[in-house]
Amino acid sequence: MPILFYNAKLFLNNHVSTQADAIYVEDNKIKSVGEFEEIKDKISAKTIKIDVEQKLLLPGLIDTHTHFVQYALAKSEIDLSSARTLDEIGEILQEYKKNMPADQKWVSGKEWNGNELKNVERLDRKFLDKIFPDTPVSLASKDLHTFVCNSKALEKMDLEEKKLPEGSNIGRYPNGSPNGILEERAWLLIEEVKPKLSGKIKKQLVKETISEAHELGLTGIHIMEEKDSYEIFNDLYQETNLQLRVCWHFPLDILDEMIKKGVKSYTGDDWLKIGGVKIFMDGSLGSETAYMFHPYKKDKNNFGYLVRSAREYYNLILHAAQNGISPTTHSIGDRCNQIVTDAIIKLMHNPEINSQTIFPRIEHFQIARPKEQEKVAQNKIYCAMQPAHVNLDAGATEKKVGKFGRNSYPFRTMLDKGAKIGFGSDVPVETINPFHGIYAAVERKYQNDPRNESWIPSEKISAEEAIKAYTIEAALGSQDQQMRGSIKRGKLADLIVVEDYTKYDTTFWLDARSLLTMVNGKIVHNLL
């Protein structure tokens, strides 16, 4: 059904326009953009007319880095985000146990915060055994880089007989026995033995979470997940109208399988695309495993760790690129970012590789020296960054790495240098709410609290620049910039309506919601 939006303010060419006030949508495309008086003669009697009442029409927002299915499925888990002490975690678990079904096979929890949790070193298998001596338990940290398990869960995993996944670590007591701490990709060992939700339940949880995304103005996402997650979206695509555009960056362990199938990066259709191969090169700042030039303050011998050497990484991305697959690389620490940046530049200048056929991405690029910031900008290496992380890292980074943390989230500097940056959330590590991401990029305050001082205020950016990073630059991240990410004639009709933020101070973004969300020319959420 054709739709005319009129009496609107439009976000055109990365600013709020004072000229055009109407958009005409037919089928799934934007057919006209301009003044109402010019467009109204083109519409038919069947056209639905929507008065936007001087609210703002934006392109649909895109999240360039999610673990969306993991977020959806985690809604059935124990939420530990409110706990600030070990006793509080114990109280939450004890309360859960009171109402737990007698035949429950596994207890899962999420979002304990090692940066804010007092006595976090005592959160181990012995602590959990006292509460759950007979039922396996696994609790995920907020950054998803550390899990703690009880003895029953460790028994199920049979750690002594299993080969650890690449880039993972098992914590141990001084006597050598496992202490229940699993770091980085060791979480895969949990997934091998943890009871699975049925496919029907998984799809229902994902569908519900898609509706949540629409309420927040999201019309597209990128997922950094296992093959099962892509298959859930593919099933939904086949069974229903998906109503959310998905780009899948697949795990390294199936690279050869994808090559054998002849898969090429950034192919697919308007709903489901294959992105790059997701490669981990270091850990996280929160777990003090991000690879740094200087040691962490708590341990002068800890520089974080590198998953593979610079040579191994280059040979890996070369192998992928030779087969039409682009690297999508997790890199957080400044030393890791130097290694990754140099390797990507080397790849782009390799005469065996047509640089026009690959699209390397760096995921996070969290702490980077000025020289790496310059290299990324000059060589147009795409960076998928997460401003929502600032709201916690503002309070933790310099405590962990001192003055070297001042090179964190250099949005302003990178944009001034011409870097290509797409924003995302890293959900469930941080909130999926893109409006909170915009506020974090604009204000850089601890816990997104307006009362706090801005952290490294010189790196703040404007709301317009943050919106751009969630729209046209986010579309670039899946090579969809020709069809999505801006309001132009001929582009796909992915649109949202919000209040006109220019009338308010920046705290507007903390309570912002989409008043209407359109995907592919269909209204999927409407409060107007």
pLDDT single digits (tens) 372-397 = 999 999 999 999 999 999 988 998 89
- The whole-number average pLDDT for the span 400-406 is 94
More confident position, 115 or 77: 77
Two tokens, residue 46: 């069947």
CA distance 234 to 254: 17
Report which residue type is found at 448. Answer: N
Give the pLDDT score at 246. Answer: 98
Give the pLDDT score at 392. Answer: 85
Give the pLDDT score at 191. Answer: 82
CA distance 377 to 415: 8
CATH architecture type of domain 106-193: Roll (3.10)
Report which residue type is found at 505. Answer: D
SS3 content of the chain, % helix, strand, coil (to 5): 40, 25, 40
| pLDDT band at residue 158 using 50, 70 and 90 as cut-offs | confident
Strand partners, 516: 497, 526
Report which residue type is found at 199. Answer: G
- 463-488 pLDDT, tens digit per residue, is 999 999 999 999 999 999 999 999 99
Lowest mean pLDDT among 34-38, 406-410, 433-437, 499-503: 34-38
- 441-469 pLDDT, tens digit per residue, is 999 999 999 999 999 999 999 999 999 99
Task: Evaluate whether 362 touches 422 at the Cβ level (below 8 Å).
Answer: no
Q: Is the pLDDT of residue 338 over 80?
A: yes
Give the pLDDT score at 208. Answer: 93
Give the pLDDT score at 194. Answer: 87
Domain boundaries of the chain, sorted by first residue: 3-54, 63-67+199-519, 106-193
- The whole-number average pLDDT for the span 91-116 is 85
* Cβ atoms within 10 Å, residue 357: 12
Give the pLDDT score at 356. Answer: 86
Task: Evaluate whether 247 touches 234 at the Cβ level (below 8 Å).
Answer: no
Give the pLDDT score at 497. Answer: 98
- Angle between helix 334-348 and helix 370-378 axes, rounded to 10 deg: 30
Q: Is the pLDDT of residue 168 over 80?
A: no
- The whole-number average pLDDT for the span 149-166 is 81
Give the pLDDT score at 433. Answer: 98
Give the pLDDT score at 512. Answer: 97
What is the phi-psi region of residue 365: left when phi exceeds 0, alpha when psi lies from -120 to 50, beta otherwise? left
Q: Is the pLDDT of residue 154 over 90?
A: no
- 292-321 pLDDT, tens digit per residue, is 999 999 999 999 999 999 999 999 999 999
Q: Is the pLDDT of residue 70 over 80?
A: yes
| pLDDT band at residue 26 using 50, 70 and 90 as cut-offs | very high
Give the pLDDT score at 507. Answer: 98
More confident position, 205 or 191: 205
* Cβ atoms within 10 Å, residue 98: 6
Report which residue type is found at 520. Answer: N
Strands of 107-112's sheet in order across: 78-79, 107-112, 137-141, 146-149, 178-184, 168-172
CA-nearest of 229, 252, 272 to 326 is 252
Which span out of 65-79, 155-169, 242-256 was modeled with the highest average pLDDT? 242-256
- The whole-number average pLDDT for the span 407-418 is 97
- Angle between helix 199-215 and helix 227-239 axes, rounded to 10 deg: 80
- The whole-number average pLDDT for the span 201-211 is 93
CA-nearest of 9, 83, 14, 8 to 485 is 14
CA-nearest of 308, 318, 312, 406 to 355 is 318
Strand 495-498 relative to strand 56-59: parallel, antiparallel, unpaired? antiparallel
Where are the strands (E) in 173-280, listed by range? 178-184, 218-223, 245-251, 267-268, 272-280
CA distance 339 to 372: 10
String of DSSP letters for 251-262: EGGGHHHHHHTT
CA distance 291 to 283: 7
More confident position, 75 or 311: 311
CA distance 242 to 14: 28
- The whole-number average pLDDT for the span 106-130 is 85
String of DSSP letters for 319-358: HHHHTT--EEEEE-SHHHHHHHHHHHHHHHT-TTS-GGG-
CA-nearest of 104, 63, 114 to 427 is 63
Q: What percent of the chain has pLDDT over 70?
A: 99
More confident position, 39 or 168: 39
Give the pLDDT score at 330. Answer: 98
| pLDDT band at residue 196 using 50, 70 and 90 as cut-offs | confident
Task: Evaluate whether 83 touches 217 at the Cβ level (below 8 Å).
Answer: no
Task: Evaluate whether 169 touches 147 at the Cβ level (below 8 Å).
Answer: no
Is the CATH number 3.20.20.140 carried by domain 63-67+199-519?
A: yes
CA distance 364 to 332: 6
Give the pLDDT score at 156. Answer: 87
CA distance 65 to 432: 10
Q: Is the pLDDT of residue 55 over 70?
A: yes
Domain 3-54, CATH homologous superfamily name and number: Urease, subunit C, domain 1 (2.30.40.10)
Provide the mean pLDDT of the chain: 93
Give the pLDDT score at 161. Answer: 65
CA distance 189 to 331: 23
